[in-house]
Structure 1
Amino acid sequence: MSILAASLRGAKRFFVPAAVAMAVLSATSVFAVDAPQANVGRETLVGTSSPGLAKFMGIRYAQAPIGDLRWKPPAPAPAASGTVDATKPGSGCPQGKSPWGVPSSNEDCLFLNVTVPADGSGMQFWQRKPVMVFFYGGGFTGGSGDLYNADDLARENDVVVVTVNYRLGALGFFAHPALDAEDHAVANYGLLDQQQSLRWVRDNIASFGGNPDNVTIFGESAGAIAIYAHIVSPMAAGLFQKAIIESGAPADQTLQTAEDQGKTLAQKVGCPVDAGAEAAACLRKVPVDALVSAQATPIATIIDGKLLIGPIADALGAGHYNRVPVINGTNHDEGNLIAGFMFDLSGSPLVAKDYEKALQGIGSFIPRVGFADAAIPAISKTYALSKYKAPGLAAAQVITDGVIACPAFEINKVMAKYSPTFEYEMADTDARSIVAPPISFSYRAGHFSELQYLFDLTSITLKGTPDMTDAQKALGRQMRAYWANFARAGNPDGTGLPVWPRFDDGKAGPVQSLNKPTSRSINNFATEHQCAFWRTVERK
């Protein structure tokens, strides 16, 4: 398929002169008479409406990164005039099958979606509603913004919510000597996409009644790792005013390490590994599916020298970051879902004789928050199998405490010195498992489980999953209110909500336990997750 044909296949907009557009609308009733409209530049976006909401989907925020634009920073979408169909989401970025997204081979994927609370007065620039921009997780290899239905978050709390597609895998997080020799920002193309989406928000969100000077970015898992990167990135300065980190880590790797991985991929797809222009040209001609099949994308950002100047943790420790208010939290049983995918759902439950081998894999799981093989004897003693009903649960607790919970806690102790910081632990151990079938142990409040309280995830929820209980629905309303209050004023507290104290670096806490029947602050987080032990563990 030609580049033009590929572009047309994934295109989400059509441009016609305004007079012709109005004639077409009148003659054919392409859109409902009461369909919401938003003027962006000389374009008129036509979306959909539901009680209390207006929604605009599949909005192009950058040119299609195809042909010569593959592995280039995103180029702004070209200015145009006319009517734009914003009633359907755009294609997700290229990815394989996963619980977090839909398989795609379409590189024309840089779209976003805007959900607007409608109060009967239309969308006016003077309304200046808080804006929340969400970056999905999925290991930097899966996901798309449209899967995260933000209707309740927007409607209940009078906030504008934006969900964003960004490049993934070998197309979004990739380094190679030939590409890195070109005169542009390199390697973190998915993060560059996210920053371009924030520029679009800055320039256009007022047309939806949003406040471009009050933007909160939030993300989960890989999306949370991206939030860490934007917090320290000089290129993101001024693009957001608050940040929410959900179940992430300050994970990064050197450009040299990433280039070595890129050379391996290049060899797999039959391209040179040198820095010559022929190698770059060869890579840009490789079919999308071949790249997706060959990729081995680490769950980490890349220290490229522009977007990321150095290790994220070092920048935070020195106070050299965009000092915005932050919520940074985790789930009580993060590792249960991850261990389930690593063992039970990848063949069979973990058995005792393979425990130390499993710890080696966990230690290499995420750069910067992994641990050296030399630490395994101490870890296997602290997390002895005799303490757990199954080896998989021991491995899960190592992941929960050592890879996610304690790194977040330690980072909060640092950030609280410089900017308002709030920490949570989602602790509903009865949380539904919506993306994974039953395994040899319970998922409890596992990784990803908090998102069902913030978004409607029906589109990726397994059939047969029970409905939320009334108590869980109430917890969801409470969590959405916390998130939106923070987006509005930099503090999650609000009328009718349990008080959420600010994290105090001197006291190393408290942490807000989000749970039913009511949330409360706790001071035993570090003890429960053995963070004192993890401070002694050699990281890698």
Structure 2
Amino acid sequence: MYILIAPLRGGKRLLLSAAVATALFSAPSAYSAAAPQVDSGQEILVGTSAPGLAKFMGIRYAQAPTGDLRWKPPVPAIVASGTVDATKPGAGCPQGKSPWGTPSSNEDCLFLNVTVPTDGKGMKFWQRKPVMVFFHGGGFTGGSGDVYDADALAKENDVIVVTVNYRLGALGFLAHPALDAEDHVVANYGLLDQQQSLRWVRDNIAAFGGNPNNVTIFGESAGAIGIYTHIVSPMAAGLFQKAIIESGAPADEALQAAEDQGKTLAQKVGCPADASPTAAACLRKAPVDALVSAEATPIATIIDGKLLTGPITDALKAGEYNRVPVINGTNHDEGNLIAGFMFDLSGAPLAAKEYNKALQSIGSFIPRVGFTDAAIPAIAKTYDPEKYKVPGLAAAQVITDGVIACPAYEINRIMAKYSPTFEYEMADTDARSIVAPPISFPYRAGHFSELQYLFNLSSITLKGTPEMTDAQKALGKQMRAYWANFARTGNPSGKGAPAWPRFEEAKAGPVQSLNKPQSRSVTNFATQHQCDFWASVERK
């Protein structure tokens, strides 16, 4: 067994045998000599090992955002001295109960996890492996990085995977006149955390064997909204070289609208709604549980003027963004899981008489990809609930096509003008439902379902969920290879998998259908999801 001894912030790097490394350290250690270690010159991170892997968990990338640091940009972590336990995850950020994570009230939560492939002789840092940094979803209110076990992704494809915690809900996404009057970047604190984690990766990942100049960011759902934002954010320039957007939307809202929501939250926790320092002090003293209970966090980023200077779509149309290669894709039945949570799992299946009211809710669900009330008659005619087995399926199809699939497709037509773009649709309609019980219609390839092919999600998988079939396992291996090929070269195509053509503006496609028994390129995506119709719908 070998141990990597490497500075986290530059300098010489050595690969030493366990015996030699042990002799070099004068202080006794409580850890096994076989445990993987990274030496920063000040602190020694001690992780865990498994066949072909070294894992470092609960690494602090920023100081605890507590006290006066609540609703402030993240402050880089203070490097400790001595040995640091990196064998277990850090606390998740404050959140309530959800399918995506564990309830928490601990604000000291800005941690990340690093999974490194090895060959039994150390981490081979000189190879400068591609790095993939994942930002989880959960509506900006739930989830944590440790849920996403990246062992297979890293080991099969010789890439380093980093998963990240970031501030959520009212503590991560809050605009308020008192806070916004302070002299710092405001509102999108969770996204500022994500960018700070990328700075940590830039400064430190070489010690783990990673290439700081070959970093791919990827995220799902709310995490994908974050990816859209980093792509257009001037503050993220140079922090990544490629991006993967999974089931996201270019969703943002104006600072004034966000401040109005912040005023409401402040009043709920007994604080003023004005711009006074007294109001800011009151908010910083508010109990975490009270803030989590009172939050009504939009599924959108906030146009604060610095991290996000204007609407995401406008920046993309103008070509004024970080022009990196992008994969941007969706799942075949995105809306099935979302509609299930909105209706069946919130009381009862959607009734036909409530269909138009449900469309109003869907139209206001996510900013920029919603639709006006004036558009509802045309939508109700196009997606007539009488043509579906149950009204909930009609509503689900509206979400799939109108809120997620077609907006992603239109964004790809825009980005393809300026930078290499690839689109996928995860189309395994037999995908397991791992986070929600049965409802009045099947989930099929619903929202979130592609992640079980990329990560081991056993920590949040419902008991009794069947194992993947052999064909699904093969699809997962293929998808992990596509993602890693893209991280390595900027092109998902590679040995042993069907070619994945680049999305071309002139052709408005193609789209790679990820499915068993074999993935393939298709040209009927826009027709299947009625994107011509949605192009005529008035958005809000």
Q: TM-score range by the shorter chain?
A: over 0.9
Deviation at 1:385, TM superposition (A): 1.3
Deviation at 1:21, TM superposition (A): 8.0
Amino acid at match of 1:244: I
Deviation at 1:178, TM superposition (A): 0.4
Matches within 5 A, 1:224-373: 224-373=224-373
Matched residue count:
519
Determine the C-alpha separation between the residues in 1 that align with 2:34 and 2:41. 21
Determine the C-alpha separation between the residues in 2 that align with 1:46 and 1:244. 30
Matches within 5 A, 1:9-158: 23-25=27-29, 30-158=30-158
Would the aligned equivalents of 2:135 and 2:218 in 1 still touch at CA under 8 Å?
A: yes
Number of the residue aligned with 2:189: 189
Determine the C-alpha separation between the residues in 1 that align with 2:526 and 2:390. 24
Number of the residue aligned with 2:531: 531
After TM superposition, the runs of 4+ consecutive aligned structure 1 residues lying more than 6 A away are 18-21
Amino acid at match of 1:380: A
Amino acid at match of 1:153: L
Number of the residue aligned with 2:416: 416
Number of the residue aligned with 2:159: 159
> Structure 1's 104 and 415: CA in aligned 2 closer, same or farther, altered over 3 A?
same
Determine the C-alpha separation between the residues in 1 that align with 2:271 and 2:364. 28
- Secondary structure at the aligned position of 1:171 is classed as helix
Would the aligned equivalents of 1:38 and 1:123 in 2 still touch at CA under 8 Å?
A: no
Determine the C-alpha separation between the residues in 2 that align with 1:22 and 1:539. 65
- Secondary structure at the aligned position of 2:278 is classed as helix
Would the aligned equivalents of 1:21 and 1:82 in 2 still touch at CA under 8 Å?
A: no
Determine the C-alpha separation between the residues in 2 that align with 1:20 and 1:66. 38
Deviation at 1:22, TM superposition (A): 5.1
- Secondary structure at the aligned position of 2:163 is classed as strand
Deviations along 1:475-525, one digit per CA (max 9) or x if unpaired, are 000000000000000000001100100001110000000000000000000
Would the aligned equivalents of 2:406 and 2:529 in 1 still touch at CA under 8 Å?
A: yes
Deviation at 1:31, TM superposition (A): 1.7
Matches within 5 A, 1:453-468: 453-468=453-468
Amino acid at match of 1:24: P
Number of the residue aligned with 1:389: 389
Deviation at 1:41, TM superposition (A): 4.8
Deviation at 1:124, TM superposition (A): 4.5
Q: More displaced, 196-205 or 113-122? A: 113-122
Determine the C-alpha separation between the residues in 2 that align with 1:157 and 1:61. 26
Q: More displaced, 381-390 or 240-249? A: 381-390
Deviations along 1:106-158, one digit per CA (max 9) or x if unpaired, are 00000000000012342344210000000000000000000000000000000
Number of the residue aligned with 2:18: none
Determine the C-alpha separation between the residues in 2 that align with 1:448 and 1:41. 41
Deviation at 1:408, TM superposition (A): 0.1
Deviations along 1:24-73, one digit per CA (max 9) or x if unpaired, are 31xxxx22220000123521100000000000000000000000000000
Determine the C-alpha separation between the residues in 1 that align with 2:367 and 2:308. 15
Amino acid at match of 2:322: N
Deviation at 1:215, TM superposition (A): 0.1
Amino acid at match of 1:442: P
Deviation at 1:23, TM superposition (A): 3.3
Amino acid at match of 2:299: I
Deviations along 1:208-251, one digit per CA (max 9) or x if unpaired, are 00000000000000000000000000000000000000000000
What is the percent sequence identity of the aligned residues?
A: 84
> Structure 1's 21 and 62: CA in aligned 2 closer, same or farther, altered over 3 A?
farther
Deviation at 1:185, TM superposition (A): 0.3
Determine the C-alpha separation between the residues in 1 that align with 2:202 and 2:132. 12
Determine the C-alpha separation between the residues in 2 that align with 1:310 and 1:343. 34
* Normalised TM-score (structure 1): 0.95
Determine the C-alpha separation between the residues in 2 that align with 1:80 and 1:466. 44
- Secondary structure at the aligned position of 2:521 is classed as strand
Determine the C-alpha separation between the residues in 2 that align with 1:61 and 1:20. 27
Amino acid at match of 1:455: F
Q: More displaced, 114-123 or 439-448? A: 114-123
- Secondary structure at the aligned position of 1:414 is classed as helix
Q: More displaced, 40-49 or 354-363? A: 40-49
Would the aligned equivalents of 1:124 and 1:207 in 2 still touch at CA under 8 Å?
A: no
Number of the residue aligned with 1:176: 176
Determine the C-alpha separation between the residues in 1 that align with 2:314 and 2:188. 19
- Secondary structure at the aligned position of 1:492 is classed as coil
| Cα root mean square deviation, aligned | 1.2
Amino acid at match of 2:189: Y
Determine the C-alpha separation between the residues in 2 that align with 1:340 and 1:309. 35
Matches within 5 A, 1:423-442: 423-442=423-442
> Structure 1's 515 and 177: CA in aligned 2 closer, same or farther, altered over 3 A?
same
Number of the residue aligned with 2:11: none
Listed as ranges, the gaps of 5+ residues in structure 2 are 1-21
